[in-house]
Every structure is written in C-alpha cells, then in structure tokens.
C-alpha cells in the first residue's frame, strides 16, 4: 500500500503544473478556478490535474454552495521525503551543493 501511494505521489509531482498548483495550495485553501487561473489550459485540463493530485492524496476537495474548494494534504509529501532521506548517504557532492543552494533560496523566498 505504501509503495502504491509513493508511486502516486511521485507521479503527481512529476508535472510542473501540478507542482505549481500545490505551491498555491501551500498558501491556503483555493477554489478550482483560482488554482486553474494563469495556466494555458482548459477547465477540463485543470480538472484532470486536480484529479491526479486527489488520487495521490495531496489534495482534499470540499463543496461550499456552488464552489469546489481545495486544500493541501501534506502527509504524502512527508512520506516521500522520508523515503528520499534513506538515499541521502549516496548523494554526490554536487547534489549536496545544489541542495544547499535550494535551501538558501527557500529561506529567502
């Protein structure tokens, strides 16, 4: 079960549009139209991306009147991070430098 969920998480994270949607949800709950805004895609395309995120357990959706609201569920991300930490000892020096740069950039942002 954990392996399948991990597969779903990495599949969801493999797409830049879905990662951008997750970044928006990290700021708080958003409507489906707010999540789709700014992407060059149809509403159907946005719905397909959301379906992948929901299937991975990264997004919870609820109805409020006529609006569909989405929220981030970070549990699958924590599981993926735990899995990746197992491989940390194999990290190359250049990857370690890249990680340090990304961490520094994240602190600034």
Summarize pLDDT for 52-62 with one digit per residue, the tens.
999 999 999 99
pLDDT at 30 over 60: yes
pLDDT at 8 over 90: yes
| pTM as predicted | 0.76
pLDDT band at 91 (very low <50, low <70, confident <90, very high): low
Non-local CB neighbours of 59 within 8 Å, separated by 6+ positions: 21, 22, 25, 50, 53, 70, 71, 72, 73
Residue 73: predicted pLDDT: 95
Residues 20 and 35: their CA atoms lie apart, in Å, by 9
> 30-31 and 59-64 as β-strands: parallel, antiparallel, unpaired?
unpaired
């Amino acid at each position: 079960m954990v392996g399948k969920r991990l597969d779903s998480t990495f599949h969801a994270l493999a797409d830049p549009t879905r990662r951008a949607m997750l970044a928006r949800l990290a700021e708080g709950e958003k409507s489906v139209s707010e999540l789709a805004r700014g992407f060059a895609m149809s509403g159907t395309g946005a719905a397909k991306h959301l379906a992948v995120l929901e299937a991975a357990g990264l997004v919870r959706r609820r109805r409020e009147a006529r609006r569909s609201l989405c929220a981030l569920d970070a549990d699958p991300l924590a599981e993926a991070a735990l899995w990746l930490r197992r491989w940390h000892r194999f990290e190359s020096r250049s990857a370690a430098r890249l990680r340090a740069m990304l961490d520094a950039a994240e602190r600034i942002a």
